[in-house]
Amino acid sequence: NTKELSVDHRLTQVCELLMETIPYYDWVGFYFKNGDKEELKLRSFAGEPTDHDIIPFGKGICGQVAISNENFVVPDVKAQNNYIACSIHVKAEIVVPLFVNGENIGQIDIDSHTPDPFSKEDERFLEFVNEKVAEILE
């Protein structure tokens, strides 16, 4: 339906804007919990297409955040054993859960080609982005 389409379009615009504006954001995507399934599904992204459009809960950085409800900052992806590689260029990753009415319904996921680029400022900024995104989803 039209409303879903416009939300998808706006989510894609958010991804593109973040990727274009912040030099060390090299891939930006939104994953959402997929109905009653114990998995995440990629809904919108900017950057190279990924094979990982479905991620089971618990798997990789994204799958862990689906369960923990907490930000996950990875300064060095090589140091993680529960990590799903999307591109050999990726050095670091940040995943911030997206809450609607207090419920973790998905997440923003950012990959960087720069080692250890993410600070507390990125966490606060991405929490703010997710609060704004939650408003268009409600």
Q: Applying CB under 6 A, does 57 fall inside the site for ligand SME?
A: no
- Cα 43 to chain centroid, rounded: 10
Alpha carbon of 65 to those of 6, 61, 88, 107: distances in Å?
A: 26, 6, 22, 8
How far is residue 2's CA from residue 14's CA, in Å, rounded to a whole number?
18
In the stretch 10-49, what mask flags binding to ligand SME with x, by CB under 6 A? -----------------x-x--------------------
Identify the burial level of 49 via C-beta atoms within 10 angstroms of its C-beta, where 0-12 means exposed, 13-18 middle and 19 or more buried.
exposed
DSSP letter assigned to residue 70: S
Among 30, 106, 107, 111, binds ligand SME (CB under 6 A): 111
**Angle, CA of 96, 39 and 105, to the nearest 5°:** 45
Q: Work out which of 83, 104, 105, 123 binds ligand SME, going by CB under 6 A.
A: 83
- Binder of ligand SME out of 52, 73, 125, 129 (CB under 6 A): 52
Among 11, 14, 28, 61, binds ligand SME (CB under 6 A): 61
Taking the least distance from each CB to ligand SME, the nearer of 6 and 114 is 114
DSSP bridge partners of 96: 108
Residues that bind ligand SME (CB under 6 A): 27, 29, 50, 52, 55, 60-63, 83-84, 86, 93, 109, 111
